[in-house]
């Protein structure tokens, strides 16, 4: 309650006297192996998903789901090839040069565009530092 009112008072002073509000957002950089596909992702993964479906088990990827808005490509979108199978709901994006699959694109149940980031493609990210949740994609 007290915190709330002091925030309101600060807001009322206006931008001239008020402090600049910095929103700290973690940015992770990732890429395929050769660098033809590179990107930045906003946010901080708190858990990874390991899926046992036919493609994830072959890739061995650990996935982190973010809103598609939080994924910013640093290389032209056309640099990544697209693989689709089954119901074609997920666009598996991969590098045609080195063969690495850094991310996929799809939508959540409400239709919001989402991206599945392969955590193993992030720079300087320790996958062992976050819990891995098993997902039974094979049964879907």
Contacts to Zn ion from residues 77-116, by CB under 5 A: 95, 97-98
Nearer to Zn ion, 49 or 104 (CB): 104
Give min distance, CB of 37 to Zn ion, in A.
6
Contacts to Zn ion from residues 5-44, by CB under 5 A: 32, 34, 36
Nearer to Zn ion, 36 or 43 (CB): 36
Distance CA 137, CA 98 (A): 26
CA angle 94, 125, 74 (to 5 degrees): 45
Sheet of 81-83, strands arranged across = 81-83, 91-94, 103-107, 113-118, 63-67, 48-51, 132-135
Nearer to Zn ion, 49 or 80 (CB): 80
Q: By CB under 5 A, how many residues form the interface with Zn ion? A: 6
Contact residues: Zn ion, CB under 5 A: 32, 34, 36, 95, 97-98
């Amino acid at each position: 309650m007290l915190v709330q009112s002091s925030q309101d008072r600060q807001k009322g002073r206006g931008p001239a006297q008020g402090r600049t509000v910095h929103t700290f957002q973690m940015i992770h950089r990732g890429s395929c192996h050769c660098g033809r596909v590179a990107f930045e992702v906003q946010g901080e993964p708190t858990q990874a998903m390991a899926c046992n479906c036919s493609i994830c088990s072959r890739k061995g990827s650990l996935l982190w789901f973010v809103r598609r808005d939080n994924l910013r490509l640093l290389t032209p979108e056309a640099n990544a090839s697209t693989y689709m199978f089954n119901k074609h709901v997920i666009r598996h994006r991969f590098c045609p040069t080195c063969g690495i699959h850094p991310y996929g694109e799809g939508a959540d149940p409400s239709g919001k565009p989402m991206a599945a980031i392969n955590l193993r493609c992030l720079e300087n990210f320790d996958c062992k530092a976050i819990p891995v949740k098993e997902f039974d994609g094979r049964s879907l």
